[in-house]
Amino acid sequence: MTLRFLRHFLTLLLVACTLQAEAGITRIAVIFAETDDAGPTNFASLLGGIENTPGVEIIRLTLKDFEEPRLSQLLQANAQRGGPIRLAAAGGNIGPIAVLYPDIGEPYRSVFSKIIEGIEESTQTKVSSYAVGSSFNAQTISGELKRQDIRVVIALGRNGLKAASALDKEFGVIASGVVSVPDTEVRTSAILSLAPDPALLFSRLKALSPKTQRVFVVYEPRQNAWLIKLAKDAARSQGIELVTQEAGDLKSALTIYQNIFAHADAKRDALWLPQDSATVDESMVLPLVLQESWSKGIPVFSSNVSHVKRGALFALYPNNVELGRNLASSALGMASGSPVARGVLPLRDVLTAFNTRTASHLGLTPSKAQQQGFDLLFPEQ
C-alpha cells in the first residue's frame, strides 16, 4: 500500500463524512485488493447479503479508482446524488470463527442455541461450535482451533469464557452470556453483558411513568460497580435522581429495601432490581419488594423477565438472536483487524416484558404505540 494510496484513501474518507446523506440510502464503498485473481466475485462470502439489503448500495472500487481523475469524478458524482460513501476493505478471507458455549441442560441450552443461531446467520463464514463442560483441556481446545486456522473465539456463559481465557493469547475473544466478569478477564476480552443498558431501562421508565423523578437501586459492588457507573450517567441524562446503596449480602439488602419503602414517595419514586445475586433473590427479596410496591404504589422495574410475571411493572431482557448477530459483527471486525474495545458493554439487544395488571393498579396507561413495543405481556393473554 503506497503513501499515495493512503493519501487518497484519507481524502475520500474525510470528504465522504461531510456529505449529506440521501434519505433512505446508505452507500458502501468496497475496496478490492489488486492481486492476481482478486475481484468482486472472490469476496461473495464476505459481502454476504449486503447488496440485497433494502436501502444499501455498494460501490465497487479497486486501487486504480484512487488515481486523481477517477477520485474527483467519484466524489463529484456522489455529491450530486447526496449520499456519503462508507468504506469497507475487502482484502481477503477472515477465516472461520469458533463459539465456545456451556454444555448445560434446558432451559439455558435453548438460550445459547438462539445466540448461536444469530451468529451463524450473520457471519457468512464457517462457525465451529464447541460445548464446554466444567472440566476441559485448554491445550486440546487450542490445538483444535489452530488446526482449523481459527483466530477469533466467541465465548458464551461462564464455562465458555473460562475456557477462552485459558487459550493461547493469539486468539481474539468476544464474550457474552454473562452479567459480569472478574477484572482480570475484563482487561483481555471484549464482553457484551446480559445486563440491560440502564439508559434503555430509564428511557422506558420515563415513557411509562413520566412522574418518576427518583430511582432507588441496591447492588453489590464486585458484581455491578461497572453497571452503576453507567446508570448514574444515564439517569442524569433522563433527569432522574439515582439513589444507589451498596449491600454485601441478602440480609443487609433486606434491611435497605425495608428502609427504602418506609420513606419512598409514590408520587415520584421507583425501584430498580438489577441482576445481582447478593441483593436480589426470588425467595426473600422479591416477595418483600413486590408486596411493598403493590401496597404503596411504588413502580418496580427489573433486569429479569421472570420478575414481571410475578408483579414487577416491566423488564428488559435479551433478544438472543440479535445478540448473536451483534457478537458476529464484533467477531468479524476483530478477525479483519479492526480495533475492538476491551471491557464490559451493557446489553442493547433487548425485548420488553410488561405487566398490565400492575400498570392498572399503579394508574399507568401505556399509549397504543407503547403497547405495540411490548414483546411479552403478563398476565398472559
226 plus 355 within the same structural domain:
yes
71 plus 179 within the same structural domain:
no
Please give the angle made by the CA atoms of 41, 31 and 81, to the nearest 5 degrees: 105
190 plus 330 within the same structural domain:
yes
CA 184 to chain centre: 21
The enclosing domain of 310 has a CATH number of 3.40.50.2300
Q: Domain range holding 203?
A: 196-316+351-378
CA 380 to chain centre: 28
Q: What is the DSSP pairing of strand 56-62 with strand 190-196?
A: unpaired
189 plus 151 within the same structural domain:
yes
pLDDT tens, 17-38? 433 344 445 555 555 544 434 4
CA–CA distance, 283 with 300 (Å, rounded to integer): 17
pLDDT tens, 65-114? 545 455 555 555 555 545 444 444 444 456 789 999 999 999 889 999 99
48 plus 165 within the same structural domain:
no
The domain boundary, picked from 90, 125, 148, lies at: 90
pLDDT tens, 337-362? 887 777 899 999 999 999 999 999 99
173 plus 263 within the same structural domain:
no
339 plus 229 within the same structural domain:
no
SS (H, E, C) 240-265: CEEEEEECCCHHHHHHHHHHHHHHCC
CA–CA distance, 23 with 208 (Å, rounded to integer): 31
240 plus 369 within the same structural domain:
yes
277 plus 365 within the same structural domain:
yes
Report which of 327, 351, 350, 349 is spatially closest to residue 340, judged by C-alpha positions: 327
Q: Is 343 left (phi over 0), alpha (psi -120 to 50) or beta?
A: left
CA–CA distance, 220 with 227 (Å, rounded to integer): 11
24 plus 137 within the same structural domain:
no
As for how many domains the chain has, the answer is 3
Q: How many residues does the chain have?
A: 381
Determine the pLDDT at residue 18.
Answer: 38
The domain boundary, picked from 60, 90, 120, lies at: 90
The pTM score is 0.75
152 plus 191 within the same structural domain:
yes
Q: CB under 8 Å to 353, separation ≥6 — which residues?
A: 305, 308, 309, 314, 315, 316, 317, 374, 375, 376, 377, 378
104 plus 209 within the same structural domain:
no
The domain boundary, picked from 59, 90, 121, lies at: 90
